[in-house]
Amino acid sequence: MEAAEKDIFYPSYFQGSWTAVSKTLDVQAPFGFELFTGGKSAFDSVIQKEVKGGDVLRYKARFIAQFRGDDAGNTYVAADREFNAKEIAKAAMGSYSVIDVPIATPNRFSCVLAPPDGSTNLICVDIITIARKSEPLSDNKFACSEVVRQIVSPATRNPTPVIPLSVKEIETISVYTKVSDNQIQCLQRTATYLVPSQTDPIAFKKWQVSKGNSVDVRCYDVIYSRMIN
C-alpha cells in the first residue's frame, strides 16, 4: 500500500459550490449477504430503492483553496471535508444527524452522529486515511483513489476506551469528467473490506472468510452542478 499523499489536489475547475446528485448503478455482495454491510435486508433495500427504484442522494458539495504550506504561500484546490461530510450525512440521515465534528483534517475526520431512528445512543465515526492517489488523465478528466479505515464506536464522554461497533476499510475510486464549466460527472466505485477484530470472535471469523477480499461493492453516477449566485 502506498503512503498517503498529503491531500487530493483537484483541478482548478472544481473550486466553488456544487449541488451533487448521486445515483446507485450497481451493488454486489461478493462473499454473500452474511458479510455484506447490514446483511441481506440492507442489500435488498438498496437494490429495490436505489438501483431499481431510482432513489438518489442529493447534497451540497464544496471545493476550496488550501495553502500548500510552502514558503511561497501557494494554494491548491481541495474538498471542504467538514462541509461535504455534514451535507452528505444530513442528506442520508436527516437534518439533525450531525451533532459535532471535533476533527476535520486531510488525514483524519471524526464526527458524532445521531442515528436516524431517533435513538439517543449517539455514535462516533472516525475516518483515518491510509492511502490516496490522484492523477489528471486529460484537460477535462481527473481520477483519484482513497483508502480509509472507518471506526464506528458508541459516543461517550467517559475516557475509558470502548469496543468499536465496527471497523472496516473502504476504498473509493473516482473518475471525474468536466462536462462544462458548470457540470462535472463522476463515476465512483466503493469497495468495503473487513478488518480482523481482537475482541469480537464473530467479526474475526468473518474476516477470515473474506480472505482479504471486498465484501460490499457499489458503483455510483454522481453529477455535480455548479451553484450560481
According to the model, what pLDDT value does residue 117 have?
A: 67
Residue burial 23-47, b: 16+ Cβ < 10 Å; e: rest: ebeebebebeeebbbeeeeebeebe
Tens of pLDDT along 75-101? 899 999 999 999 999 999 888 788 899
Cell of 61: 458539495
Cell of 139: 484537460
According to the model, what pLDDT value does residue 1 have?
A: 37
> CA-CA distance, 127 to 125, in Å (whole number)?
7
> CA-CA distance, 119 to 113, in Å (whole number)?
11
Q: What is the mean pLDDT of residues 202-210?
A: 90
Q: Are 142 and 173 in contact (CB under 8 A)?
A: no
According to the model, what pLDDT value does residue 4 have?
A: 53
Distance, C-alpha 5 to centroid of its chain: 17
Q: With a cut of 80, say whether residue 158 has pLDDT above it.
A: no
